[in-house]
Structures are given as C-alpha cells and as structure tokens.
Chains A and B, each alone.
Chain A
C-alpha cells in the first residue's frame, strides 16, 4: 500500500520565479492538505482540497494556489517566490469517512536564493 508521495524531493529556485510541487495521496484517500514548515517551526496549514475544490485556506497570500485532479493527486503552485518561501512543503492525505487521520508525505525541500 503506497503512502503519500511527493515530488520533487528538493528544489532550488531564484527569487521571482514560480514553482510547482506535486503530491499523490495514500491509496483510498480523497482529500489533500498542504502545509509549510519553516526551519525549526511546526507545519502551518496552507489549504485543503476535496472534490477538486479548495475547501479551506490558511493565512497564506494568493501567490499560493493549488489544484486537485480527478485521481485525487494535487499540485501546489507558488508564484513570485520570496526568500521567505524557503521551507519544507508537506502534503497530507485523508479520507472523509469520519476518521480524521492525516498522513503526511516526506515533503519537498524548497530553497529560494
């Protein structure tokens, strides 16, 4: 049973560029949430996708956008990158059946120079 997978593992971008991160949920899961974890901090919620729609959003600017595909996989896009966007980006998947276990992927380490 494949867990949550994310790609790429590491990424280096320059200020002002755009980046796309990808996530495939755990088998049987239909909900994907994205979190940003800065160094030495706990993860912070960015947004959650279910049925291909953004259902909830944390306190992140519009530069952060996402998409969910019919196969439940998801993308996180960040435009106009800032140095402060450097972080570990974590994807979590879950299933809306009343169980609230969110399983996390290994993350994508984004470095903005």
Chain B
C-alpha cells in the first residue's frame, strides 16, 4: 500500500524560506495535499496539487511535484512565527478507485519551528 514519508523537524529563522519535503511510494496517487496542524487543533487544508501538475503557487505557498521521483515539496516564503506548526503531506488515489473519493494517506508530519 501507499507509504508517505517526511522529515520530522525543520527549524528556520523568521523571514527565511522554509522547504518541507515529502516522498510517496504509490505512483497511482493522483492527489497530493498539504495540511497544517497547530497544537491541540484539527488539520487545516493549505493546498493540494493534481499529479498532472508540476507546480502550484498560492500566495506565500509554492508546491512542487516531481512525479518521476514521487517527491513533493512545500515552500513557505517569508516564514513567520505564526507558521510554526506541524505540516502533513497526504496522498490520495482519488475517485477513479472504487467510485468514491479516495481516503487520505498521511505522513508522520514535519514540525516547523520558526525562530524570531
């Protein structure tokens, strides 16, 4: 089955760019997501990308997808202390499998610490 892996920790200085990386194993995963989780809270959907795209930009967030290497990254420009959280990468096969929306397979999360 699908396996999603992320590095566990990342520390950056305020104002720098952060890059969080993720790899997945199942080439049939067609939807790839980034979620943010703050302490004691649920998951906030940040952005997602379809496997037929290489890049998606949304304000300070840039997602890059290398489908050949099954590698996904999330770049946060001008990182702020409010960006400190755990970031989860997730993969889904989408509705072509079984006629229903695919369940999400999550990595263990990358804890981003932003130092002032």
Residues of A at the B interface (CB closer than 8 Å) are 4, 6, 31, 33, 35, 40-45, 48, 50, 55-56, 58, 90, 92, 94, 96, 98, 100-107
Contacts and interface: CB of A to CB of B under 8 A. Distances in A.
Interface string B17-54: 00000000000000101010000011111001000000
Contacts of A33: 103-104
B45 A102 contact: yes
Contact of A56 (B33, B35, B42, B98): B98
Contact of A104 (B44, B105, B107): B44
Interface of B: 4, 31, 33, 35, 41-45, 48, 88, 90, 92, 94-95, 98, 100-109
Contacts of A58: 103
Contacts of B102: 100
B92 A105 contact: no
Contacts of B31: 100
Contact of A107 (B33, B42, B104, B109): B42
B101 A106 contact: no
Contacts of A31: 100-101
B100 A42 contact: no
Contact of A41 (B44, B48, B98, B108): B108
A4 B41 CA distance: 13
A42 B48 contact: no
Contacts of A56: 98, 100, 103
A104 B45 contact: yes
B107 A42 contact: yes
A4 B33 CA distance: 18
Given A45-B105, A106-B42, 12 more contacts: A42-B88, A42-B90, A42-B107, A50-B101, A94-B101, A96-B95, A100-B31, A100-B95, A100-B102, A101-B48, A102-B33, A104-B42
Contacts of A4: 42
